[in-house]
Amino acid sequence: MMLARSIAAASLLALLLPSFASAARPDMLGKIFLQVEEHGEAWYIDPVLGMRTYLPDGQSALELLRMRGLGISNADLSLIPIGIEDRFQDADRDGDGLSDQLEDSLRTNKNVADSDLDGFSDGEEVRTGNNPNGAGKMKTDAALAKRLSGRILLQVETNGEAWYVNPADLKRYYMKDGNAAYQIMRFLGVGITNKDLEYFDIAIIEAGPETGLATKRCGTDMDCFIAAVGNTQSATVNFTYDFHLWTISTHVVQQLETRNVAGNIQYQDTYLSRQMFITPENRLAMKNNGKTDAQIDADLVQMQLSTDSVNVLHACTVQNTSALVDVLKNWKMGTFRYESGPEGLGGDYAAFGPCTETQIQNQ
């Protein structure tokens, strides 16, 4: 009975979902693999792009952090458990098992092994999930850690410190620089055959020359983002909007991001969340057409399940910056066009230039 029901649900989902190239291997997303049939080359499977990036050295790891990192608030970051990779050796002046720089990030005392003087060293407390700065356990959010599995996170409220959420244990590993990232990612990597690795296309991380303008982080201010795009400056914003398809309304929070790569603007957007609902008017109309509340609610649950994925991405190379600015202004006014074009990417995205669309299904 349970089996029949889950097969029915799975086939319904298969009908509703577009086919995603990487959905077949969700277990591999966000992991580091070492090419054991060659010379142990390290590859990162980007969980957003569903593509692999080659990491030959610390410089490439640094570019990966800069280009593919996701900004996170300190409050959210604190809810993800901390992992410690003992094989990565770094300065630890008080010998408590936490490197000096990790202690700076955690705000523990790097000169005192037991910051809160409770008899347990800072390292012991972090390893056991206890608070090294006071009493009690560290508060964690397993669902958040799972959602960010395999992502690189950047502490945008402080100094952009980078962390990697290891899919194997859903803990975050601190990477103080490119060299640390490279070594820690190698330690966390697992072997893979060439055949399995070749399942993923290669994504090339192009940092490009520095533009002299740091990434403008606009929070939720679309005017700030639009102005930055007009100046071909790298920028990010979280953008919230609603759209309506047939009787279903969808509330979306999306991260928009542009990057100035050697003078060219690259654009991408990522769904942070999508919630679907039915307005009272539409519910009444559906009931007048003979549906019961229970049927309407069941349909809604199925729709929500089918679109429950975050990390849905459009990536475009912008050919005409002013066209992108015009589209963003329309979005801000609530006019969002998403009709399919000849390549399946029409509507507003057709104005940007060549686009790829990648959608990753949640596990």
Binding residues for Ca ion (CB under 5 A): 92, 94, 96, 98, 108, 114, 116, 118, 120, 122
User: CB nearest Ca ion: which residue?
Assistant: 122
- DSSP lists the bridge partners of residue 341 as none
CB 91 within 8 A of CB 99: yes
Nearer to Ca ion, 26 or 97 (CB): 97
Minimal distance, residue 103 CB to Ca ion, in Å: 5
Please spell the DSSP secondary structure of 223-248, one letter per residue.
HHHHHHHHTT--EEEEEEEEEEETTE
CB 189 within 8 A of CB 181: no
Nearer to Ca ion, 53 or 115 (CB): 115
13: left (phi over 0), alpha (psi -120 to 50) or beta: alpha
Pairing of strands 190-192, 32-35: parallel
Nearer to Ca ion, 130 or 311 (CB): 130
Minimal distance, residue 127 CB to Ca ion, in Å: 12
Minimal distance, residue 181 CB to Ca ion, in Å: 20
| 280 membership: H or E segment, kind and range | helix 280-288
How far is the C-alpha of 125 from the C-alpha of 163, rounded, in Å?
A: 19
Nearer to Ca ion, 106 or 316 (CB): 106
CB 211 within 8 A of CB 260: yes
Minimal distance, residue 304 CB to Ca ion, in Å: 44
Nearer to Ca ion, 111 or 295 (CB): 111
Nearer to Ca ion, 46 or 94 (CB): 94
Minimal distance, residue 115 CB to Ca ion, in Å: 5
Minimal distance, residue 137 CB to Ca ion, in Å: 13
Token pair, residue 236, equals 């990010």
Q: Can you tell me which residue has the tokens 């098992």? A: 97
CB 178 within 8 A of CB 62: yes
Pairing of strands 51-55, 216-217: unpaired
Minimal distance, residue 129 CB to Ca ion, in Å: 13
Minimal distance, residue 100 CB to Ca ion, in Å: 6
How far is the C-alpha of 136 from the C-alpha of 194, rounded, in Å?
A: 46
- DSSP lists the bridge partners of residue 6 as none
Nearer to Ca ion, 81 or 97 (CB): 97
- Nearby residues of 107 by Cβ (< 8 Å), 6 or more positions away: 133
Q: Give the dihedral sign, CA 208/211/215/221.
A: negative
Nearer to Ca ion, 136 or 342 (CB): 136
Q: DSSP secondary-structure letter at 49?
A: T
Nearest to 270 by CA among 240, 234, 311: 311
Nearer to Ca ion, 177 or 206 (CB): 177
Minimal distance, residue 179 CB to Ca ion, in Å: 19
Residue 26 CB burial class (10 angstroms; 0-12, 13-18, ≥19): middle
